């Protein structure tokens, strides 16, 4: 579907017309159409992120320290200012290092397809659709001194498939990633830091899943 065409009438009827009109006024018709296609909670995440980016109102570390032990959603920033965006309720903070506990890896398939077609909600035509949700154990703007030998590297690329991927054993990412990785859907601990590999996990819930088992709903906790 063209980014300039409206979604089917059934989709419009299922969405809030007032919200759609506000999105068109705020972001333009292409982004509003993309938002209307997304599950409500994924749309709200993208809407909140884009509004705060435009207003330069993302929260810095001192403001989000009270979020420790709280449930959040963490994803890569779409620009070069800080590394990670941290979403909670209608706020988004930013930091360079995040540790999550009892984490889940979430990929929304509609947002993934928007990103692959370059018809997404953000100014770079991608959609926030892949993130890690869990309870914050640690936040910092400094890279922690940690040995990664007992952490599993985690990779997500929308062109490689609809899930985050990891290795069966901890340590460096293997050279032939296509043959050595398998889907990961949860983990006891997740470490997100700057570097070539930005996401690492311990206690991963891995396995080869049929497509109906892959987390694609975009439901946030």
Q: How far apart are CA 156 and CA 106, in angstroms?
A: 11
Closest by CA to 201, choosing from 125, 119, 105, is: 105
pLDDT at 107: 98
DSSP 184: E
Closest by CA to 182, choosing from 152, 206, 216, 151, is: 206
Structure tokens at 18: 């007032």
Degrees, nearest 5: CA angle 40-135-87: 40
What digits encode the pLDDT tens for the residues 157-212?
999 999 999 988 898 876 765 557 899 999 999 999 999 899 999 999 864 333 32
pLDDT at 169: 86
pLDDT at 205: 86
- Coil/strand/helix, residue 156: coil
Positive or negative: CA dihedral 203, 193, 157, 162: positive
Q: Residue 165: exposed, middle, or buried by beta-carbon count in 10 A (0-12, 13-18, 19+)? A: buried
Whole-prediction pTM: 0.85
pLDDT at 219: 32
pLDDT at 153: 94
Q: How far apart are CA 37 and CA 2, in angstroms?
A: 13
pLDDT at 1: 38
Q: Bin 54: left if φ > 0, else alpha if -120 < ψ < 50, else beta.
A: alpha
pLDDT at 178: 58
- Coil/strand/helix, residue 47: helix
What is the chain's Cα-based Rg?
17
Long-range contacts of 42-46, Cβ-Cβ distance < 8 Å, separation of 24 or more? 42/108, 42/110, 42/111, 42/127, 42/128, 42/129, 42/218, 43/121, 45/73, 45/87, 45/128, 45/131, 45/220, 46/111, 46/121, 46/122, 46/127, 46/128
Positions in the chain short of pLDDT 50: 1-5, 9-10, 12-14, 207-221
């Amino acid at each position: 579907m063209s980014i300039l065409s409206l979604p089917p009438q059934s989709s419009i009827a299922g969405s809030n017309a007032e919200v759609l009109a506000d999105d068109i006024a705020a972001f333009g018709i292409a982004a509003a159409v993309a938002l209307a296609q997304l599950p409500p909670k994924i749309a709200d995440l993208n809407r909140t992120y884009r509004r705060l980016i435009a207003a330069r109102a993302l929260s810095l570390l001192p403001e989000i320290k009270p979020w420790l032990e709280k449930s959040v959603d963490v994803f890569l920033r779409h620009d070069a200012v800080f590394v990670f965006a941290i979403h909670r309720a209608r706020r988004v903070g930013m930091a360079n290092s995040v540790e999550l506990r009892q984490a889940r890896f979430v990929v929304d398939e509609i947002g993934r397809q928007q990103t692959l077609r370059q018809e997404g909600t953000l100014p770079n035509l991608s959609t926030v659709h892949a993130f890690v949700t869990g309870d914050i154990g640690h936040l910092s703007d400094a890279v922690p001194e940690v040995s990664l030998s007992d952490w599993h590297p985690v990779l997500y690329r929308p062109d490689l498939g609809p899930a985050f991927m990891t290795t069966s054993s901890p340590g460096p990412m293997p050279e032939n990633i296509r043959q050595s990785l398998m889907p990961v859907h949860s983990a006891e601990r997740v470490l997100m830091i700057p570097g070539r590999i930005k996401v690492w996990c311990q206690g991963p819930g891995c396995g080869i899943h049929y497509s109906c088992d892959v987390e694609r709903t975009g439901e946030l906790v």
